[in-house]
Each structure stands twice: as C-alpha cells, then as structure tokens.
C-alpha cells in the first residue's frame, strides 16, 4: 500500500486534479492520498493558504475581509464547475467556511481552522471527483484518520500513540483522500502543522499505515545535484539516503519541509519524489541505505545568511569548560548555534544571521569579553555555507582536495572547512557574494 501526497501545484486547478486522478488510477496500490490546498496556477498567482491567512487576519481584526473571501470561494467554484461536480458540494463548502469564520473560539484556534480550509475542501472535492469517475474513494477527516497532535496552533506535533492506531486504516475499503496540513488535539480542536505541512501529514500517514512507499508528487522531475537556478540543467539525483537528504535540505535544498520526513524515516518507509506533470519520470528515491556507486558526491547545496562568531584565547584547549561557558552565553540569550568548528586556541560558532540582532551581537560580545577574557572576539556576517554531500565521501580519497581546487580555480577564498562529525558531508564557509561562482565550479569538478 502506497501513500501519495500531492502538493499545491499538483492540485491547483481542475486540469491538475485530472492528472492526479490518472496517476491514482494507474496504480492500485495508491490507497492513501494526501492533498494540499490549491497552489499557484502560474508564477503570479496566489496560493490559497496565503489568501486564507489574509482573510483570517482581516476577519479577526475587524477589517474588510470580503475581497479575500470572494477569491477563495471563486477558486473552489471554478474547480468544482470544471470538474463538473454537483453544485451542492459548493454550497456545502461555502456554508462550512461561513461557520468557521463565525466560530466562538480563541483567535489562534480560529486562525488554524481558517488556514485548514484549503486542504480540507480540496480533499472533499478530490474525493468526490474520484468517486465520480468510478473509483471507490472517499474523503476522510484527519480526526477520523487518527491524526492526533499536540495543541500548539500553527506548529502541531504528532502524538506518538496516534501512529500505531493509524495502522487500522489499512482495513478501510477503497481509496482514502486525506487533507494535509492539520490534525486534531486530544480535546478535539483543529491544529495546523507549520507552513508547508502537508508533507508532514503525508509522512505521518506513511509511517502510521506502514506504507511500502511514500510518493511525494510535486512539479519537478527529481531532486537535482545542485540548485537549477545556479547551474543550467544539472544532473538529476536518482537515489539518496535519508541522511543525504537531510544534509542537502539543511543547506537550502527546498524539496522537503525540514521536519516532514522524520516520521517516514523512523518507520523506514522509502520516499519517492515525483512529478505530477511527468509521472513517467523516475523521480528521486530516498532510502535508509543505498548502494554506493562510483560517484561519491550526490549533491551540493548552498545557503546564505550565516555569521561566524570567532573567539581565540592562548591555551584555550587546556581551559576546562571554555566551550561550555561560551555556548551557555548563547543559550542564555536564546540563540541556537549551527556548527562550532574549533582549533587548539580558537573556536568559531556559526549562527543564523536572522537569530542575531545588532543589540544581541553587542551584548554577546560584551559578555564573552567580561566572562571568558579571550584574546580576540569578533563577528563576521554575510557568510554562505556550502555542503558537499555524499555517502561515498568517507571512503573516497581526495574529495576535499578536489573541492578545494574547485574553490581555488574560481578564485574563492574559503573562510571555514568542517568535515568533523558528519560522515556524509563536507562543509565550507565562504562569502555570500561568491555562492554562484563556487557552486558552478564545484559542479564542474564533481559532475561534469
């Protein structure tokens, strides 16, 4: 039994939904279908969820919300009409949106219920359409499906017990169409996951029902070896391990929502990224383990917006507790750190720039000076991280040398290298302005 999740662009209008139906029809193992809200139909279009958030904010703040409301209704109406579904479904949807707005609950809960309108009604529409074309399919609400989550509006977490109970869904007849992006608290309140969270639902359902495969349908043929906006037509990745995917998505590969894969990974369900607009393409398969081929690097990712806090002190290595005290200062100031490459007398702590306001920066440097008495402390902003990722790295000689030569032939200075704990990646820190040149040069070195 497979779980197939269709993202926003795959279910953005009637034409896309018909493609989805063909995909479902073509494989009887596709039993659990998770859907997003209608996404963008073109690059200048709106995402239904964004419109719902605008509508919710306006409604809650007593501002005019009618324009947003009409856009939401028009979008559903267009889909229903083009799929030639009964107008009573549209009436039902409109009634439920009105009653969601009128709910007498806290603003947070109301906002979550409004945000979920897109997924919930799209699942109803798709369920109805699949039945209409003769499949045995029905919409199932996440409460009935057993998606029970913590009561944290906009950031729900699945409760571990609910996964085991979801296994019973396998016994249900026919195809089940489940709206993504939300679950219910133990008290029965609707709570959404973080943005992009339909991927989380897909992964939870895949884990719960112990699917043989979790297919994630989007609008790309596969995951690419590097960002296709930096290198034209880069090679596709056919197989990745979970660990490789995590390292790549950490540094800017945005195919997946960060936490989304966790339930599927824990349950060891293989994940396949596929294209709704080209379902014949093989896609990228993400597995717990894979055979290492002769290409040791699987992908190269990059992300900017980092800064490096550099601290040096003569004989630092002999000073017991230095690292702890330094990290404690960050903890006290509520700042998480990304990496901390260190030398004998130096340590750099890499932090996301968005976590460090100029006021915090001043405070931290002051505290380090007062409490740790270093020789130097400085902060450098505008750093980009580049990750060269591949399970084959550990056993291949000369990868670092190849990467370093790629930087040097592009005339790029490396600020930091870290190949410490992770066995599957090598990390480089460079100036943000050099990202494109660096990626292009690394791509030439490893893939051409």
Which chain residues interact with ligand ASP by CB under 6 A? Answer: 8, 36-37, 47, 49, 118, 180-181, 195-199
Which CB sits closer to ligand ASP, 36 or 54?
Answer: 36
Output the smallest distance, CB 28 to ligand ASP, in A: 26
- Nearer to ligand ASP by C-beta: 277 or 440? 277
| 293/264 Cα distance (integer angstroms) | 25
Q: Which is nearer to ligand ASP, 73 or 135 (CB)?
A: 73
Least CB distance from residue 358 to ligand ASP, whole Å?
31
SS3 of residue 90 by DSSP: helix
Q: Which residue of this chain has its Cβ atom nearest to ligand ASP in the complex?
A: 198
State the nearest-atom distance from the C-beta of 142 to ligand ASP, in Å: 13
- Least Å distance, CB 228 to ligand ASP, is 21
CA-CA distance, 336 to 71, in Å (whole number)?
A: 40
How distant, in Å, are the alpha carbons of 112, 199, 295, 343 from that of 148? 15, 16, 42, 46
13 within 8 A of 41, measured Cβ to Cβ: yes
How far, in Å, CA of 410 to CA of 386, rounded? 14
Q: Min. distance of Cβ 181 from ligand ASP in angstroms?
A: 4
Cβ proximity to ligand ASP: between 120 and 284 the closer is: 120
Neighbouring C-beta atoms of residue 125, cutoff 10 Å: 25
Q: How is residue 304 written in tokens? A: 């900017």
Q: C-beta of 119: minimal distance to ligand ASP in Å? A: 6
Min CB(221)–ligand ASP separation in Å: 20
The residue among 116 and 169 lying less far from ligand ASP, judged by its C-beta, is 116
Residue given tokens 């571990």 in the structure block: 160
| Least gap, CB of 115 to ligand ASP (angstroms) | 7
3 state SS of 136? coil
Rounded Cα gap, residues 175 and 137, in angstroms: 4
Q: In sequence order, what are the beta bridge partners of 287?
A: 241
CA 236 to chain centroid, in Å, comes to 19
- CA–CA gap between residue 78 and residue 258 (Å, rounded): 33
Q: What count of other Cβ atoms lies within 10 Å of the Cβ of residue 53?
A: 17
Give the pairing of strands 284-287 and 271-275.
antiparallel
Nearer to ligand ASP, 10 or 284 (CB): 10
φ/ψ of 404, rounded to 5, equals -60, -40
Q: By C-beta, is 214 or 306 nearer to ligand ASP?
A: 214
What is the nearest approach in angstroms of ligand ASP to the Cβ of residue 108? 16
Nearest to ligand ASP of 181, 224 (CB atom): 181
The neighbour count for residue 187, using CB atoms within 10 Å, is 7
**Distance of alpha carbon 45 from the chain centroid:** 21
Q: How far is the CB of 53 from ligand ASP (least distance, A)?
A: 9
Q: How far is the CB of 204 from ligand ASP (least distance, A)?
A: 13
Nearer to ligand ASP, 118 or 299 (CB): 118
The DSSP annotation for 333-400 comes to TT---SB--B-SSEEEEEEEGGG--HHHHHHHHHHHHHHH--SEEEEEEEEEEEEEE-GGGTT-TTHH
Q: Which residues contact 429 (CB under 8 A, 6 or more apart)?
A: 306, 308, 350, 383, 384, 385, 386, 414, 415, 416, 417, 418
Of the pair 120, 425, the CB lying nearest ligand ASP is at 120
Query: Between residues 117 and 248, which has the closer beta carbon with respect to ligand ASP?
Result: 117
């Amino acid at each position: 039994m497979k779980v197939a999740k269709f993202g926003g662009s795959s279910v953005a209008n009637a034409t896309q939904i018909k493609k989805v139906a063909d995909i479902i029809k073509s494989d009887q193992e596709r039993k659990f279908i998770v859907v997003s809200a209608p996404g963008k139909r073109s690059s200048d279009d709106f995402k239904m969820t964004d419109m719902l958030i605008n509508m919710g904010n306006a409604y809650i703040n007593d501002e005019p919300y009618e324009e947003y409301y009409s856009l939401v209704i028009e979008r559903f109406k267009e889909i229903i009409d083009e799929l030639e579904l009964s107008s009573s479904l549209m009436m039902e949807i409109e009634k439920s949106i009105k009653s969601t707005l009128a709910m007498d609950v806290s603003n947070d809960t109301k906002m979550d219920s409004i945000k979920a309108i897109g997924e919930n009604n799209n699942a109803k529409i798709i369920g109805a359409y699949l039945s209409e074309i003769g499949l045995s399919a029905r919409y199932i609400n996440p409460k009935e499906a057993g998606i029970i989550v913590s009561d944290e509006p906009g950031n729900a977490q699945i409760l571990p017990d609910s996964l085991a109970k979801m296994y019973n869904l396998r016994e249900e007849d026919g195809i089940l169409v489940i709206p993504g992006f939300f679950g219910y608290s133990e008290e029965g309140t609707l709570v959404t996951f973080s943005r992009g969270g339909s991927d989380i639902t897909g992964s939870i359902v895949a884990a719960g029902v112990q699917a043989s495969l979790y297919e994630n349908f989007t609008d790309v043929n596969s995951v690419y070896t590097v960002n296709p906006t930096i290198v034209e037509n880069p090679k596709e990745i056919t197989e990745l391990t979970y660990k490789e995917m995590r390292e790549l998505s950490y540094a800017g590969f945005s195919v997946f929502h960060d936490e989304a894969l966790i339930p599927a990974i824990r349950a060891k369900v293989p994940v396949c990224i596929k294209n709704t607009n080209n379902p014949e393409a093989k896609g990228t398969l993400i597995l717990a383990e894979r055979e290492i081929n002769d290409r040791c690097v699987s992908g190269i990712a990059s992300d900017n917006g980092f800064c490096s806090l550099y601290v040096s002190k003569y004989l630092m290595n002999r000073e017991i507790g230095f690292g702890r005290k330094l990290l404690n200062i960050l903890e006290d100031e509520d700042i998480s750190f990304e990496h901390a490459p260190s030398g004998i007398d130096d340590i750099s702590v890499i932090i996301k720039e968005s976590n460090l306001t100029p006021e915090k920066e001043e405070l931290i440097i002051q505290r380090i000076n007062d409490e740790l008495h270093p020789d130097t402390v400085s902060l450098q902003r505008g750093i980009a991280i580049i990750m060269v990722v591949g399970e084959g790295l550990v056993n291949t000689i000369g990868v670092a040398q190849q990467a370093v030569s790629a930087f040097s032939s592009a005339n790029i200075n490396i600020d930091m290298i870290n190949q410490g704990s992770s066995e599957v990646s090598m990390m480089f820190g460079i100036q943000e302005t050099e990202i494109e040149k660096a990626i292009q040069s690394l791509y030439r070195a490893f893939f051409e």
